Structure 1
Amino acid sequence: MSYLNFQWDLNKAETNRRKHGVTFHEAQSVFYDEFARIIPDPDSSFGEERFIILGVSEEYNTLVVCHCYRGEDEKIRIISARKAEKRERKQYEDCRYA
């Protein structure tokens, strides 16, 4: 497993945990899911290019994680994370088991 470099705002991480029940520590594990899908998120890209990753976490939750890449070393900055809705889980499963 390769090492990825993550960052996030601590206040935003706590707000996200309270609102969605997902920690950013759990969210970062989705990036190690070999079946995860990354898609551009142009609707949320204001001044920076943002992406959505859909994958399974180390806690076996299917998550949707909004993120961007920062700096020359392209740190992965987690912006938000939530459990996938039913249609999103189906989309992930359809791609994984196709």
Structure 2
Amino acid sequence: MRISYDPNKSQRNLQERQLAFDEVKDFDWQTAIIWQDTRFDYPEPRFLSLGLLNERLHSLCFTPIEGGIRVISFRKANKREMKQYEQERNVSL
């Protein structure tokens, strides 16, 4: 899968969150829950996902592109998201 992103935004994310966008290549899509972000009227379809990366839950916002995704944001999941994931997947983190 092709993964696209703004390199400047990825660098800023690395500095602020110690997480570069190129790490999305290791995001475990098999563990993910995905839903469309309809909170705002975005110019493109956006999706939110919660899934594992190196045994830690992460939040990924992306938009589909031809042959892959473009990363919008990527960070470790917060407690509310962890609880949501546990309830939807019927697992304990």
TM-score bracket, normalised by the shorter chain, equals: 0.7 to 0.9
More helix by share: 1
1:43 is displaced (CA, Å) by 2.5
Partner of 1:91: 84
Which structure ranks higher in relative contact order (CA pairs < 8 Å, sequence separation ≥ 6)?
1
Structure 2 CA distance for aligned equivalents of residues 87 and 24 of structure 1: 22
Structure 1: segments with no counterpart, 5+ residues: none
Q: CA RMSD in A?
A: 1.8
Bigger share in strand:
2
Conserved in 2, the CA contact under 8 Å of 1:62 and 1:83?
Answer: yes
How much identity, in percent, do the aligned residues show?
33
- Residue equivalent to 2:60: 65
Question: Does the aligned pair in 2 maintain the 1:6–1:28 contact within 8 Å?
Answer: yes
- In the alignment, structure 2 segments of 5+ residues that lack a partner are none
In structure 2, how many angstroms separate the alpha carbons of the residues matched to 1:35 and 1:96?
Answer: 9
TM-superposed deviation, 1:44: 5.0
Q: What TM-score, normalized by structure 2, do the two folds share?
A: 0.82
How many residue pairs are counted as aligned between the two chains? Answer: 91
